[in-house]
Structures are given as structure tokens and as C-alpha cells.
């Protein structure tokens, strides 16, 4: 198995020894090495682009707006059209990006336009599948926000559409394209933390916005919102502005904490480890505080068993999200192995190595005695060994890199990492986490064939 071999550990140690030598001769790539602390700057080469790409936005709310801002930072792309079901967002779009935009409340009018090469889909989750499939079948490349789908049953049709149309399809968990995730992938491969056995991630929030109580515009009504289209693929109900503007809280439209937040960590974790995903998913939680009519928990814990695979040894994952959290703070992705751990963000990796050789392990003591190695019964305090890898100040970030990867794939016919298969394998454990919570049972999944396993 790749990650556990002695040779990969030697690989890491050799690289670090080389790095120390570089510091000794004053290599600028390595800023400091005080005691056992090592620091390296992560660098991304500038990106150039020849062919102009015209794109459109479908769903011009918070994330759609951010995506356009990021996409427009990349060279030679143009926003030509915007679609949203709420007229206020269309008005905002002209204020931000000019009066020349084609505006519509009907996404199919965007898909039939010849001047649109690609679309960003940033609608609520219950529209991702249908619009993605329609867009690819209409010949458009697709950048779809996460999670790729709203229900576990919806994934295969997106994969089929991508395979049959050959269009570039990328899902929006931006971390996957970041320097931080790339560095973590390389460190794990090089054996920096030994054999991975555990990973975790925690989100802590305690504010109305953090708990998805977003503002509802004063003019929200059936005159300004195309409610009938919004609910046309789900339960029929009379107009309800809260269900439209705070959609994350309702199961017909959103995917709860797991689909909103856990999915980012599945994407990063699977990218770093080359994993296909867990085979057992169990969730617990409850609605403790934000009792505003929502249908999803505000405290959610998920535990996930990752089976042995070609890429990795078996390991466990623990994820937790708490919207009533007064103290504990957010951690991003932590990977723990037999010889160390890594804290991974999009911009940095902090690697801690366990270099303890002094031990009370009776087996080791026996071996040392046999080898004639003198044993001290007094414990030594070993200096910590910590390595920080941090992006350079001018790094434009994971979101920028994600759009660069998307547009580069369109221009050069290349593949993206976070395609439909990858994104389904990331979405599935998140969606099954919700299913586990709602059905109060563990869910079994085959991550290779991407199918539910009957108990
Ligand atoms: N990648 C990330 O870091 C990240 C962060 C936040 C949100 N997201 C994802 O982005 C998506 C949007 O989230 P948001 O926070 O921007 O929500 P939002 O409510 O701010 O925006 C959604 C917009 O979609 C519009 N809309 C709804 N149905 C539509 C349809 N059928 N056709 C056209 N427009 C429609 C709404 O009017 C609204 O303007 C979600 O899938 C969410 O999970 C991703």
C-alpha cells in the first residue's frame, strides 16, 4: 500500500533533509527554520489564457455573485447573461456588471443562447441536477455549486449527461484546487504523517446569519418571485418568502449542514487521499435552539468508516457542526496518522511530526535491551517538530484556482479533478448523513460502485 511503505516515509525525510540543506545555503524558498520549526512558502505560477469564454450565471444570490466576482478575475472571460427567479437579484446584477447583460427568470432562455459557452449554477440545491443536465445537453460547460445533487438518487443522471456530452463539468468545492490541498496530498503521499488512521473537521457558529436566518427582502411577493417555477420540481405549497430566501432550512430545497458544509471536507479529503469514500455512515444530532420552523438539525455529528482501498489503509472520519456553539471554534480538515498530523486549509498546511523514540512500550524496551542500547528510566521532553507550509501573500486563493482549472479545461480539453463522478462521491456521504439522521439508522454505501447497500 502506497502510503504506508517505508520508502514513502524515507521520501518525506529525504525531502525535508534537502530542504534543511537549502536553508543552510540560504535558499529563499524557505523563510525560517528556528529550532525544529520549518516554514515554506507555497507558490502558484501566473495563468494565461487565449480564447475568450462567455459565461452566464444561473442563480444570482450570495454564492453566485461571489463566483462571478472570482471568475471575472481570470483572464479573457466575459459575463453575458444572468438568470434568477427573484427580480431584485436581476436588478442587482445590472448594477454590478452593467446594462448589457441579458437578464431572464427562465434558465432555458440562457441555455438556448449561442453566445453562452459555460454556465455557473448557484441556485438552491434542489435545482442543481436538472439545470446541470439541461445545460450539458444544450452544449454548455457547467460549473455547478456544491453539493452536486439534492438526493442520493440524482447523481447517476448527471454522470451520464457528462459522459454522453463530453462537456466540462466541475462542482464548486473550491478547496480541491487550492495550494493547501495540493500540498497536503503530496505530504501524505510522501509519508509525512505515516499511515492515515483518522480525520476530522468541526464547524462552530452562533449567529442568526451563521444559522441561515438570512434577510428577506421587503418587496418579496409573487410579483417579484417566480414561486411556481421554484417549487415546480418539489412539493406544491402557497408562496412562502421564508422558504424561498431561507431555503437551507427546508428539506425540499436544501441539504442541511451535511450538504452545505460537510461536503467541502469530503471533497478535500477525497482529493488528498485519493479515496472513493466511506462505506458506513452514521449521524446523530438535533434541533436545540433555532426553532424557527426549520426542518433540519442545528447540531449534527457524522461518523464515517473508510474501508481499506488501493489508495489507503482503513480510517475513520468524524465531522461535527454546531450552530449553538459558544466556545469550541472551527477546525478545518485534520488528518491524523501513525507518525504525525496535518491541519489543512486552502492556504496552508501545518504538519506536526511525532518523533518520539523514548517510550514505555514494553516491546520496544525489550528490543532495545536485546540490542544492548542503554535505557534511561527518566523520560526526556522531546522538542516539537512542526512544519508550516503557507501560501505566498499574493496567492489568489482556492476559489480563483478552481475557476482557472474550469476555464483551462474548457480551453485545452483537459479533465477537472472535481468532475461528476468525484463530486457524486463527495456528495453521497453528506446526503447519506442526512438520511441516517432522518431514518435513525446507519447507512451502508459502496463507494466504488456508488450504490446503496441493503442491510
Ligand atoms: N462553494 C461554496 O463555498 C458555497 C458557499 C455558499 C453557497 N454555496 C452553494 O451555492 C448555492 C447557492 O447558495 P446561496 O447561498 O448563494 O443562496 P442564495 O439564496 O443567496 O442564492 C440562490 C439564488 O438562486 C435563485 N434561484 C432559486 N431557484 C432558481 C432557479 N430555478 N433558477 C434561477 N434562479 C433560482 C434565488 O432567487 C437566489 O437568488 C447553493 O447550492 C449552496 O450550497 C456554495
CA distance 312 to 273: 7
Question: What is the average pLDDT score of the chain?
Answer: 91
pLDDT in tens, 363-422: 767 877 788 776 666 555 566 689 999 999 999 999 999 999 999 999 998 899 999 999
State mean pLDDT over 204-229. Answer: 97
Distance of CA 389 to CAs 38, 87, 361, Å? 8, 45, 32
Q: Measuring from atom 25 of ligand 1, which residue has the nearest CA?
A: 59
Can you give the pLDDT at residue 19?
60
Which of 6-20, 136-150, 411-425 has the lowest average pLDDT? 6-20
User: What's the 63 CA to ligand 1 centre distance in angstroms?
Assistant: 6
Strand pairing class (299-306; 37-42): unpaired
State mean pLDDT over 53-74. Answer: 98
Can you give the pLDDT at residue 363?
76
* Choice between 366 and 277, residue whose per-residue pLDDT is larger: 277
Query: What are the pocket residues of ligand 1 if the criterion is a CB atom closer than 6 Å to any ligand atom?
Result: 58-64, 83-86, 89, 107, 122-125, 127, 145-146, 172, 174, 229-230, 260
Cβ pair 183, 260 in contact under 8 A: no
Q: Is 230 exposed, middle or buried (0-12, 13-18, 19+ CB in 10 A)?
A: buried
Please give the number of the atom of ligand 1 that sits closest to the Cα of 174: 1
User: What's the 455 CA to ligand 1 centre distance in angstroms?
Assistant: 35
Substitution candidate for ligand 1 out of 145, 216, 233, 430 with most atoms within 8 A of CB = 145
Amino acid at each position: 500500500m502506497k502510503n504506508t511503505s517505508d520508502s514513502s516515509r524515507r521520501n518525506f525525510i529525504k525531502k525535508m533533509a534537502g530542504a534543511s540543506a537549502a536553508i543552510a545555503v540560504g535558499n529563499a524558498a524557505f523563510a525560517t527554520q528556528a529550532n525544529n520549526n520549518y516554514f515554506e512558502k507555497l507558490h502558484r505560477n501566473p495563468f494565461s489564457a487565449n480564447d475568450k469564454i462567455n459565461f452566464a450565471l444561473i442563480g444570482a444570490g450570495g454564492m453566485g455573485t461571489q463566483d462571478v466576482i472570482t471568475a471575472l478575475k481570470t483572464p479573457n472571460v466575459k459575463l453575458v447573461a444572468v438568470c434568477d427567479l427573484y427580480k431584485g437579484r436581476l436588478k442587482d446584477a445590472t448594477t454590478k456588471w452593467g446594462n448589457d447583460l441579458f437578464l431572464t427568470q427562465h434558465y432555458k432562455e440562457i441555455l438556448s443562447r449561442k453566445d453562452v459557452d459555460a454556465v455557473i449554477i448557484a441556485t438552491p440545491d434542489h435545482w442543481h441536477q436538472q439545470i446541470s443536465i439541461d445545460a450539458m445537453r444544450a452544449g454548455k460547460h457547467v460549473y455547478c455549486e456544491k453539493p452536486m445533487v439534492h438526493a442520493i438518487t440524482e447523481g447517476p443522471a448527471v454522470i451520464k449527461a457528462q459522459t454522453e456530452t463530453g462537456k466540462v463539468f466541475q462542482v464548486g468545492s473550491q478547496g480541491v484546487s487550492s495550494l493547501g490541498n495540493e500540498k497536503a496530498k503530496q505530504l501524505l503521499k510522501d509519508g509525512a504523517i505515516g499511515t492515515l488512521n483518522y480525520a476530522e473537521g468541526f464547524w462552530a457558529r452562533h449567529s442568526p446569519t451563521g444559522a441561515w436566518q438570512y434577510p428577506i427582502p421587503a418587496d418579496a411577493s409573487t410579483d417579484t418571485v417566480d414561486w411556481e417555477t421554484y417549487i415546480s420540481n418539489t412539493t406544491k405549497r402557497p408562496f412562502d418568502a421564508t422558504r424561498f430566501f431561507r431555503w437551507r432550512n427546508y428539506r425540499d430545497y436544501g441539504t442541511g449542514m451535511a450538504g452545505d458544509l460537510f461536503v467541502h471536507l469530503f471533497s478535500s479529503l477525497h482529493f488528498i487521499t485519493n479515496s472513493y469514500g466511506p462505506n458506513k455512515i452514521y449521524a446523530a444530532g438535533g434541533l436545540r435552539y433555532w426553532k424557527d420552523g426549520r426542518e433540519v438539525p442545528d447540531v449534527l455529528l457524522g461518523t464515517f468508516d473508510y474501508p481499506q482501498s488501493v489508495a489507503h489503509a482503513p480510517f475513520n472520519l468524524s465531522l461535527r457542526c454546531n450552530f449553538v456553539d459558544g466556545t469550541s471554534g472551527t477546525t478545518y480538515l485534520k488528518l491524523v496518522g501513525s507518525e504525525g498530523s496535518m491541519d489543512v486549509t486552502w492556504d496552508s498546511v501545518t504538519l506536526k511530526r511525532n518523533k518520539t523514540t523514548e517510550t514505555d512500550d514494553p516491546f520496544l524496551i525489550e528490543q532495545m535491551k536485546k540490542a544492548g542500547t542503554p535505557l534511561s528510566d527518566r523520560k526526556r521532553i522531546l522538542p516539537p517538530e512542526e512544519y508550516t507550509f503557507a501560501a505566498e501573500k499574493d496567492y489568489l486563493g482556492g476559489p480563483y484556482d478552481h475557476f482557472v482549472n474550469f476555464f483551462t479545461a474548457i480551453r485545452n480539453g483537459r479533465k477537472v479533478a472535481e468532475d461528476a463522478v468525484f463530486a457524486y462521491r463527495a456528495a453521497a456521504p453528506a446526503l447519506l448523513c442526512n438520511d441516517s439522521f432522518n431514518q435513525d439508522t446507519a447507512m451502508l454505501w459502496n463507494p466504488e460502485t456508488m450504490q446503496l447497500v441493503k442491510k
